[in-house]
Amino acid sequence: MRIIKEKTLRDFYAKHPQAKPGLCHWYNVASQAKWRKPTDVVASFRHADRVQVRSGNTVTVFNIGGGHYRLIAAIHYDKQRVFTLLILKHAEYGTGNWRDLL
């Protein structure tokens, strides 16, 4: 998969250095993957969840760093692209307010 907006990852772990190992692991796995459907994602990341957001689109939420962070991405299987949309601390994710942004 081609990761779009790798800068989102770098910016987040620049502010939260403890998230860097988990985000780098996610990047390494995702960039080598050839996901064709949601079950392929779950085979790589068993705690990945698909969530519908306000726009009606579906995003995939990945647990990062033992569940301390959530990476929210849009996966375009047909084009083999993953767009990193948001990375949040667990508490921020828990509010659910992020769904209104997407």
- Structural tokens at position 52: 């519908």
Q: pLDDT value at position 54?
A: 94
Confidence of residue 28 (pLDDT cuts 50, 70, 90): very high
pLDDT at 49: 96
CATH number of the 2-101 domain: 3.30.2310
Q: Which CA distances in Å does 14 have to 45, 79, 94?
A: 24, 29, 22
- Percent of the chain predicted with pLDDT > 90: 96
